[in-house]
Structure 1
Amino acid sequence: MILNQIIIAVNDKLYVKNPESSDLGRKIIQHSILLIDEIGFDAFTFKKLGERIGSNESSLYRYFENKHKLLLYLSSWYWGWMEYRLVLETNNIPDPKTKLLKGIEILTEKVKDDSATLHINEALLNNIIILEFTKTILTKEVDRENREGFFLVYKRVINRLVNLILEA
């Protein structure tokens, strides 16, 4: 296999310490996805996550300021992964209509867990995006967060789809 692990770039203003940089950080990401999928974002707390992974709540704050930033991180990672898939899977399709259909398929198909990302269950993350993504934008801070680029990758995915439509 040429690529055995995918690294998706996420806006560095979303975290205090990059969770991809340590085992604990990857464990935080992995188990936050499991816990949010299990109990929902509103019931999710860093205290519950800390108990689940056997870590102090304070150590979670070394990675993320709060649970909202964690959700923004997960959302950005998800849309970055979708963008990666769109580019990779449509790049060599010459026919614009076929390319558009493939793009639509990628964005709407039932998501399966990707073995190239060991600590991220994309199928569960997709459930979280479907149920909780609006909580990233329905806040008083959305304009500031938008200016800081927190939604750029989501906008890029939308623009890629728009371009596929225009080409077709």
Structure 2
Amino acid sequence: MESLLPNFKININDSLYLKDPESSELGRKIISNGIQLIEKLGIEDFTFKKLASQIHSNESSVYRYFENKHKLLLYLSTLYWGILEYHLVFETTGMKDDKKKLIKAVEIIISNPEEFFTTFEIDANKLKKIINSEFVKVYHNKSVEEENKSRYFATYKRLIFRISKMIETVKPDYQYSQSLASLIVEGSLSHYFLSEHFENLTDCHSTKHIRLFYQDLLTKTLKI
């Protein structure tokens, strides 16, 4: 599969950036080092000044690519969900058993993103940690309605819709396919967060445990 994607590019809303970071070496450094720094500091303590220092550039050069760190976080979120979406499509296309396809989709949502689904040189583990900790901050703000209208969350929503359609295929009479799909995607983040910070609030303390939990939830809820 990796050999099929030498020039692969995730389609990201161009309103999220001022200059496409994939268009230059500096832009790619901003993304790869931004992931490293946000994962280390958290979005609150992360600044473009600190990022510029890490890439041996100046702060104004970062602002030529992104208006602010919120837009950068939105960009990284879209990159993450886009990687998972394409991974899901590649892995499930051609599968004949709809139940196995749904279970595979959930496994992909829970796992680390595949690095070769992007032209960036990224640390996939750190990108996932950022999404686990910071994604909720992307849309829990007063601008969410406007940003939703601008289709900033289109990739995230499309991924949920894909899973929802798989649920409907497996269980056409199930009335809550979108709710269940949203629960799976959001839950895949929250369980990782809980296991790191509030471990007594979850029974899932590894990727394997989270996967088994959602397999159990799906098979019992959908009676498959």
**TM-score calculated relative to the size of structure 1:** 0.95
The 5 A counterparts of 1:13-162 are 13-109=15-111, 111=112, 114-115=115-116, 117=118, 118-162=120-164
SS at match of 1:10: coil
Change (3 A) 1:79 1:115: closer
Letter in 2 for 1:82: L
Tell me how far 1:119 sits from its aligned partner: 1.8
Which secondary structure state, in structure 2, belongs to the residue aligned with residue 41 of structure 1? coil
Report the RMSD for the aligned CA atoms in angstroms: 1.3
Amino acid at match of 1:87: V
SS of 2:46 mapped into structure 1: coil
Letter in 2 for 1:76: T
- Share of identical aligned residues, percent? 50
Letter in 2 for 1:22: S
Q: CA deviation at 1:92?
A: 1.1
| 8 Å contact from structure 1 (residues 4, 116) kept in 2 | no
Query: What code does the residue aligned with 1:25 have?
Result: G
Distance between the aligned counterparts of 1:163 and 1:116, measured in 2? 23
| Secondary structure class of the residue paired with 1:87 | helix
Stretches of 4+ aligned residues off by more than 6 angstroms = none
* TM-score relative to the length of structure 2: 0.72
Cα displacement (A) at 1:113 = 5.6
Question: In the alignment, what sits opposite 1:3?
Answer: 5
Structure 1: 5+ residue stretches without partners: none
Classify the secondary structure of the residue corresponding to 2:4: coil
- Counterpart Cα distance in 1 of 2:105 and 2:161: 12
Contact 2:84 2:113 (C-alpha < 8 Å) held by counterparts: no
Structure 2 unaligned runs (5+)? 171-224
The DSSP-based 3-state class of the residue aligned with 2:115 is coil
Higher relative contact order (CA 8 A, sep 6+): 1
1:108-156: per-residue Cα shift (whole Å, max 9, x none)?
Answer: 12x1662454422222111100000011101111111000000010000
Contact 1:17 1:62 in 2 (8 A): yes
Tell me the matched-pair count: 167
- 1:28 and 1:40 map into 2 onto residues whose CA distance is 16
Report if aligned partners of 1:14, 1:70 keep a CA contact under 8 Å in 2: yes
1 or 2, which has the higher helix percentage? 2
Provide the C-alpha distance between the structure 1 equivalents of 2:77 and 2:148, rounded to a whole number of angstroms: 14
The answer on whether the counterparts of 1:113 and 1:123 sit within 8 Å (CA) in structure 2 is no
